[in-house]
């Protein structure tokens, strides 16, 4: 295991190709580094995790040309309407958002980001985004395809299934959809 530092259980004897456990350990290290970066970003912006999630949702909606209502924030963030109201008050007070007449329904209130919020987020995250793009830029086309395939499989492995609890499909279990119909 040349440049890969294994730090978990179940190791094979080293070669230069990372083993499965090495990839999982690298994913764990990435998640921890990203968690620390997000905490530092929230700290520098004076926000908690929910505020930052709300701001990301707001900026994403704005890029898509959508003006969300408070109920959209409640649904996206999984919090109560009362909590959303306090959160939106905070974002408006701190200069990250404004309440406006909703463009599709003039009787309701929409939430839009301010120029300050976009500038602040871009300024705070610009260097990190550049470094991430540089890292991806070092990969060949085949490596990007392999990385995308791996990441998509990892996402599927941790997504919550809406179906009732069943044995894992990974170890001997077969999903019903894979069985021939009778």
59-94: pLDDT as tens digits: 999 999 999 999 999 999 999 999 999 999 999 999
Work out the average pLDDT over 34-55: 86
In this structure, is residue 157 part of a structural domain? no
- Cα 80 from Cα 117, distance rounded (Å): 24
Give the CA-trace dihedral at 115, 55, 86, 35, to 10 degrees.
-140
State the pLDDT confidence band at 108, using cuts at 50, 70 and 90.
Answer: very high
In this structure, is residue 17 part of a structural domain? yes
* DSSP per residue, 27-79: HHHHHHHHHHHHHHHHHHHT--HHHHHHHHHHHHHHHTT----HHHHHHHHT-
The contacts of residue 28 (CB under 8 Å, 6+ apart) are 8
Q: Is the pLDDT of residue 170 over 60?
A: no
φ, ψ for residue 177 (rounded to 5)?
A: -65, -20
Tokens of 1: 């295991």
Total domains present in the chain: 2
Work out the average pLDDT over 160-182: 50
In this structure, is residue 96 part of a structural domain? yes
- Cα 163 from Cα 13, distance rounded (Å): 39
Q: Domain limits at 18?
A: 1-45
Assess whether 53 and 36 both reside in one domain.
no
Count of residues making up the chain: 182
pLDDT of residue 12: 52
In this structure, is residue 131 part of a structural domain? no
Work out the average pLDDT over 2-16: 54
Assess whether 109 and 53 both reside in one domain.
yes
Task: Give CA angle at 174 (173, 178), nearest 5°.
Answer: 170
Assess whether 55 and 101 both reside in one domain.
yes
Work out the average pLDDT over 18-25: 92
Mean of all residue pLDDT scores within the chain: 83
Q: Are 68 and 112 in contact (CB under 8 A)?
A: no
């Amino acid at each position: 295991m040349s440049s890969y530092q294994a730090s978990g259980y179940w190791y094979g004897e080293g070669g230069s190709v990372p083993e499965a456990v090495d990839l999982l350990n690298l994913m764990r290290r990435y998640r921890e580094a990203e968690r620390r970066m997000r905490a530092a970003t929230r700290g520098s912006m004076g926000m908690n995790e929910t505020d930052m999630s709300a701001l990301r949702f707001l900026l994403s909606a704005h890029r898509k040309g959508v003006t969300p209502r408070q109920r959209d924030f409640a649904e996206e963030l999984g919090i109560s309407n009362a909590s959303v109201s306090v959160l939106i008050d905070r974002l408006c007070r701190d200069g990250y958002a404004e309440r406006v007449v909703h463009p599709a329904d003039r009787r309701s209130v929409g939430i839009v980001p301010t120029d300050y919020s976009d500038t602040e987020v871009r300024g705070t995250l610009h260097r990190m985004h550049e470094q991430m793009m540089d890292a991806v830029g070092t990969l060949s086309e085949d490596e990007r395809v392999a990385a995308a395939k791996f990441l998509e499989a990892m996402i599927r492995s941790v997504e919550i299934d809406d179906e009732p609890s069943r044995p894992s499909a990974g170890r001997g279990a077969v999903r019903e959809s894979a069985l021939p119909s009778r």
